[in-house]
Structure 1
Amino acid sequence: MLKILEGSIAVAEAVKQCRPQVIAAYPITPQTHIVEALADIVANGELDCEYITVESEFSALSACLGASAAGSRTYSATTSQGLALMFEVCFNVAGLRLPIVMTIANRALGAPLSIWNDQQDSISLRDSGWLQFYAEDNQEATDLHYIAYRVAEHHDVLLPAFVCFDGFILSHTYEPVDMLSQEDADRFMKPFDPLYRLDAAAPVSMGMYATPEYYLEFRYEHDQAQHRAKKIIAEVGREFGELFGRDYSALVEGYRLEDAEVALVAMGSLCGTTKDAIDEMRAAGKKVGLLKIRTFRPFPTEEVAAALKHVQTVAVLDKNISLGAKGAVALEVKDALYNSGVRVFDYILGLGGRDVRKRDIAAIVELAESGKGDLFYGLRTEVL
């Protein structure tokens, strides 16, 4: 059913249809509308769920950890400083292989304080072991929640998942969203079937102390689960497409890339602006394309290499910065294209919510063509 919905409300409706049994969250801009809507849904009896009111984001994810370990499908949402406060628990959740799904309304991290969008928050947890999905628009943000639960709960994966969408740019924007009915959602979703759970009748131990003789093997198994997730994402995304007409089997998605000489690489809502800019550049005779990365963890190394092997130059648009190095996406793309002969340049842009316009994208293509890259794009020269 096609509806005009604010992004946060569309996400809340999708979460409701996934039938979580426990929700624990703490409000923080720009994520608040999601959990406000879910609180109303639970209070009105529209969802049979325990909604836990907590005193912090640390407590929110801790409550989800316990509920998931006991065998409940769980959900939370956060952003920015709230996600930073969850840092310790994020590693615990992933290490315990608990398939919690959490929405991240991406926002810059302080200091200095900013409530505006970039992707530094979720990128900073890239090594925590969570699956990471990035949505271009509110339709994708909505659909990815159904897929995230199916993938996370699959017994070959059993990993928690971030579904990331850009704060304010998407979370507070009204767009047409084709919502599933509850019947369709139930047809696609499956009841949570934990492989292990805390049960007094059948005791197990979770999160035990690991000596040096065993810790390495735990990390190996965790890494292997990330790699197995690629196959499961493809299978679940294809099934979603067969049922509802929107295929998410690809971890990356090309736009006008087949004959491109210059390829832009981006994640999130920036991809929409980039597509419009590409159309204008194409009309002017430039052979430019886009590779959108939908799944950052597991990173689609082979898919990126295959999609970009024919281009001459790659310009990565990073709304994050690994300080002292490069943007996180560029580091991964450079690794994927190592020894390929393709030139890869990184452009840090849009941090703290700074606008990225079509003319900025066109200017970056010109910089890449001239061999100028690995820079902060759009710096105000008067403050340097």
Structure 2
Amino acid sequence: MLEITEGSHAVAEAVRLCRPQVVSAYPITPQTHIVEALADFVANGTLDAEYITVENELSALSACVGASAAGSRTYSATTSQGLALMFEVCFNAAGMRLPIVMSIANRAMGAPLSIWNDQQDSISLRDSGWLQFYAEDNQEATDLHYIAYRVSEDPAVLLPSFVCFDGFILSHTYEPVDMLSQEDVDKYLPKFAPPERLDAKDPVSFGMYATPEYYLEFRYETDKALKGAKDIIAQAGKEFKSLFGRDYNAPVEGYSLEDAETVIVAMGSLCGTIKDAIDEMRAEGKKVGLLKIRLFRPFPTEEVAKFLKGAKRVAVLDKNISLGAKGATVLEVKDALYGSTIPVKGYVLGLGGRDVRKRDIREIISLVEKGQGDQFYGLRREVL
């Protein structure tokens, strides 16, 4: 059913339809509307779940860890400094193979303090063992929650997921969203049936002490499961398309790539602006295309290399910065194209919520065509 709704409310409704048994909540801008809506669902009886209010974000994810280990489908949401406070627990959740799903309404990290959007928060945890999905619009943000639960809870994966969507730009924007029914979601998402759980009648342990003789193997198994999740995502995406018509089987998505000489690579809501700019430039005869990355972890190395093999040049737009190096995405794209002669240039932009407009996309295309890149784009030189 098509509804005009706020992004956060659409995400909350999708989570409700996934039937989480435990929701752990701590409010922080700009994700607060999600957990507020879920609190209303529990209070009015439309969601049968234990709703836990806690004292901070570390406690929020810790409660999910305990609930998931006990065999419950769990959910939380956070952003920015809240996610940073969860750092320790994020590694624990992945290492204990707990399929928690958490929404990240992406927001810049301090200091200086910013409540506006970039992707520095979730990107900073790219090495933690969580799957990371990035949504272009609110329809995608909503649908990716169904897929995240389906993939995370698959016995071959059993890893937690971030579903990332840009704070304010999506979380507080009203868009038409095709919401599924409870019957639809129940058909697609089976009940959570963990192979192992905490049970006093059959005691097991999670996250125990590991000596050097065993620790490496734990990390190997987590890495193997994360990389193998790509196949499970493809299966889940194909079934989603067969049931509901929307295609999420590929971790990347091409736009006007057939004859593109210059290809932009990006993630998140920025892709919508890029598509509009491409349409205008295409009308002028410029052969420009977009490769949208929907899945950042596991990184779709083979798919990126395949989609970019015909390009003459590549511009990677990062709303994050691996300080002392480059944007995180351009590092991955360069690795994917290792051995190729295709020049790849990176541009760090939009940090702290700074607008990226169609004219900026045009200027970046001009820069990459001149061979200029690997830079912060849009710096206000007068304040430096």
State the match for 1:114 in structure 2. 114
Amino acid at match of 2:135: A
Q: Which one-letter code corresponds to 1:65 in the other structure?
A: V
Shift of 1:102: 0.0
Aligned to 1:22: 22
**AA in 1 matched with 2:356:** V
Residues 1:286 and 2:286 are matched in the alignment = yes
SS at match of 2:103: strand
Unaligned 5+ residue runs, structure 1? none
- The two structures have a TM-score, normalised by structure 1, of 1.00
Q: Secondary structure at the match of 1:71?
A: coil
Q: Which residue of 1 aligns with 2:345?
A: 345
The one-character-per-residue Cα deviations of 1:51-105 (angstroms, maximum 9, x if unpaired) are 0010000000000000000000000000000000000000000000000000000
Amino acid at match of 1:51: Y
Residues 117-128 of structure 1: matches in 2 within 5 Å? 117-128=117-128
- Aligned partner of 1:99: which letter? P
Aligned positions of 1:1-384 closer than 5 A: 1-384=1-384
- CA-to-aligned-CA distance 1:144-186 (integer Å, 9 cap, x gap): 0000000000000000000000000000000000000111111
**2-structure distance, mates of 1:234, 1:103:** 21
Distance 1:274 1:206 in 2: 45
Percent pairwise identity: 80
For the residues of structure 2 that align with 1:374 and 1:283, how far apart are their CA atoms? Answer: 28
Equivalenced residue count is: 384
Cα deviation for residue 130 of structure 1 reads 0.1
State how far apart, in whole Å, the 2-side matches of 1:83 and 1:238 are.
31
Letter in 1 for 2:310: H
> After the TM superposition, which of the residue ranges 196-205 and 105-114 deviates more from structure 2?
196-205
CA distance in 1, matches of 2:253, 2:25: 32
Shift of 1:258: 1.1
**Cα separation, 1, equivalents of 2:284 and 2:377:** 23
For 1:130 and 1:138, locate their aligned partners in 2 and report how far apart those are by CA, in whole Å.
21
In structure 1, give the amino acid aligned to 2:300: P
Q: Which runs of 4 or more aligned residues in structure 1 lie more than 3 Å from their structure 2 counterparts after TM superposition?
A: none
- Paired residue secondary structure (2:359): helix
Distance between the aligned counterparts of 1:382 and 1:125, measured in 2? Answer: 33
| 2-structure distance, mates of 1:101, 1:313 | 36
Give the residue type in structure 1 aligned to 2:359. Answer: R
Q: Distance in 1 between matches of 2:99 and 2:25?
A: 16
CA distance in structure 2 between the aligned counterparts of 1:76 and 1:206, rounded to whole angstroms: 20
For residue 216 of structure 2, what is the amino acid of its counterpart?
L
Instruction: For structure 2, list consecutive stretches of 5 or more residues without a partner in the other structure.
Output: none
C-alpha distance in 2 between matches for 1:26 and 1:124: 20
1:333 offset after TM fit, Å? 0.1
Deviation at 1:30, TM superposition (A): 0.3
CA distance in 2, matches of 1:226, 1:189: 20
Instruction: Name the SS of the counterpart of 1:91 in structure 2.
Output: helix
- In the alignment, the residues of structure 1 paired with residue 279 and residue 53 of structure 2 have an alpha-carbon distance, to the nearest angstrom, of 47
**Matches of 1:345 and 1:30, distance apart in 2:** 31
Separation in 1, partners of 2:294, 2:329 = 12
Q: TM-score, normalised by structure 2?
A: 1.00
Secondary structure of the equivalent of 2:165?
strand
